[in-house]
């Protein structure tokens, strides 16, 4: 496994720690590269809600990384070295 593969696997595991609504928005917006308007249509909401959820999800991920979340297999843990 390359470093990029390991980072991608770690990012996927870390993303799985997010609440479902945050995870869904990030997957549709980032992995599937859908515009916010299309994500809003799929989820039955408005563009503003999609953008707010996306922002909140990215902030949660950033805070986890800043707190030193270490992803080990299927068990992310806070502050482990």
- Give the domain CATH number at 29: 1.10.10.10
pLDDT at 8 (0 to 100): 73
What mean pLDDT is reported for the chain? 85
pLDDT in tens, 27-51: 999 999 999 999 999 999 999 999 9
Structurally, the chain folds into a number of domains equal to: 1
CA distance 42 to 38: 6
SS3 readout for 49-79: HHHHHHHHHHHHHHHHHHCCCEEECCEEECC
Q: Is residue 19 part of a domain?
A: yes
Q: Is residue 79 part of a domain?
A: no
Q: Is residue 7 part of a domain?
A: yes
| Listed residue (79, 65, 80, 81) closest to 17, CA to CA | 65
Q: Is residue 81 part of a domain?
A: no
pLDDT at 79 over 50: no
Instruction: Domain of residue 39: give its range.
Output: 3-74
Q: For the whole model, what pTM was predicted?
A: 0.74
What confidence category does residue 6 fall into, taking pLDDT thresholds of 50, 70 and 90?
confident
CA distance 39 to 67: 30
């Amino acid at each position: 496994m390359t470093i990029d593969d390991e980072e991608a696997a770690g990012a996927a595991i870390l993303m799985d720690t997010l609440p479902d609504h945050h995870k869904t928005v990030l997957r549709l917006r980032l992995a599937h590269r859908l515009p916010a308007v299309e994500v809003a249509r799929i989820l039955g909401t408005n563009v503003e809600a999609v953008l707010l959820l996306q922002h909140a999800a990215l902030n949660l991920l950033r805070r986890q990384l800043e707190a030193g979340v270490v992803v080990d297999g299927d068990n992310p843990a806070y502050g482990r070295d």
